[in-house]
Amino acid sequence: MASTETFTMQTYSFKKDNATQNTIVTLQIRMRHKYCQVHLQTYVDDDVALPLTFVREVVVSPVVTSDRFPMPPFVIALPPLRRRSILNALASLGIEGSLCECLALSIEKCVIREAQRFGYKGFEVVAELELTTVYGYAHEMAATSSPSLLRRRRIAAKVDVYDREMAPCSMMAASDPKKIV
């Protein structure tokens, strides 16, 4: 069983209107997790291998939102404190390991960019994440030399076209989002 994790992230920020919270920067993370189970099957004949991909199950979790994490101006200005604050926000959602490091780096770049834009105070950064985990099960079947081999080739070609057009989660490993190993 092979698994692949990918993520897409969108960030946005806005200036706060509340005068009492004008000096504090806040960070909020919203996360949705999608699990895809893919069945990979290969028919093997003497010289022909026909790959087939079937999407068996897709489960999408509800959106999980973290608390708003306050980041005073001195935390934003000091890289170790800024990084620790972002890692704590990600850890509150249960994100760990290399995925946590990649996301922390991306969020940190956004916070720095927005701090320079808004002057290190009085804004909020919201990061919306969509994590996708694709589990693939591979099976290999030997095809006999029979007249139905040509029919199987046509079916395989139709399924491959269907997978590319209708089942985008089966193609997540080859798509554009950042791939986590």
Q: What is the reported pLDDT for 82?
A: 92
Does residue 46 belong to any structural domain of this protein? yes
Among 52, 54, 56, CA closest to 153: 52
179 lies in some domain: no
Count of domains in the chain? 1
- Domain extent at residue 32: 2-173
Domain assignment present for residue 180? The answer is no
d(CA 48, CA 126): 50
How does DSSP classify residue 142?
E
pLDDT the model gives residue 165? 44
pTM for this structure?
0.63
Domain assignment present for residue 162? The answer is yes
Using CA atoms, how far apart are residues 37 and 7, in angstroms rounded to an integer? Answer: 17
Q: Is residue 181 part of a domain?
A: no
- Reported as a single tens digit per residue, the pLDDT across 156-180 is 444 444 444 444 443 444 444 444 4
**pLDDT, tens only, 67-126:** 889 888 888 889 999 999 999 999 888 888 888 898 999 999 999 999 898 888 888 999
- Residue 178, in any domain of the structure: no
pLDDT digits (tens, 9 = 90+) for 34-77: 988 877 776 666 666 666 666 777 888 899 888 889 888 888 88
Q: What pLDDT score was predicted for residue 49?
A: 66
Does 54 reside within a domain? yes
Task: Give the residue with greater pLDDT, 45 vs 17.
Answer: 17
In a domain, 19, yes or no: yes
